[in-house]
Amino acid sequence: MNVPDLKKMKGSFEALQIRKLRHKLSAHSTDYLNKETATKEAYVPLRFDLGDRDITAVRHTSSMHHEKVDLSKAIDAHITIMINVMDTIAEKAIKTLFKGHDQKQKEFTEELSDLRIEKDGGLVFKDTEGAPKIVVTFVGSK
């Protein structure tokens, strides 16, 4: 499908805090490569606080350093990026697969538009074909 801007997409995944935490505590806990300093570091989990959904890890190489990660925020960031990536891929796929089929392209683009409304917290109500569609969006107070 030639995913648009693949390098940028990969970079957004690499920047995720949950991904870094996974590398530090499970995949590469004894030989985590810190790309900023180009040094290897060792990490161990120090405290799992499920009540606050936090995890604290300690770096045991060079100077001792504690890192606290809010798992809820880290997972939410991951989910948001995944949804945005799937949205981008779906849009590209519609344009590619239905090139030259304007009616099909329009149909699937409308469905994607409805999904985007729901992604942003709105509601889309549809009845039978030809019936009016009701779209409800919520606006926060300022």
Q: DSSP states of 40-85 as a string?
A: EE-EEEEEEETTTTEEEEEE-SSS-EEEEEEHHHHHHHHHHHHHHH
Output the pLDDT for position 62: 67
Per-residue pLDDT at 50 exceeds 70: no
Structure tokens at 75: 């997972």
For 44-48, 95-99, 133-137, which range has the lowest pLDDT when averaged over its residues? 44-48
Higher pLDDT, 78 or 46: 78
Nearest by Cα to 25 from 57, 3, 71: 57
Token digits of residue 49 = 């606080």
CA dist 5 → 12, 79, 88, 89, 133 (Å): 11, 19, 10, 11, 34
More confident residue, 129 or 117: 117
Residue 141: per-residue pLDDT: 62
Domain ranges of the chain: 6-74, 98-136
Rounded to an integer, the average pLDDT of 113-122 is: 87
CA distance 23 to 15: 12
Output the pTM of the full model: 0.71
More confident residue, 127 or 110: 110
Whether the pLDDT of residue 22 is over 80: the answer is yes
DSSP 8-state symbol, 2: -
Angle between helix 6-14 and helix 71-97 axes, rounded to 10 deg = 170
CA end-to-end span of the chain, whole Å? 41
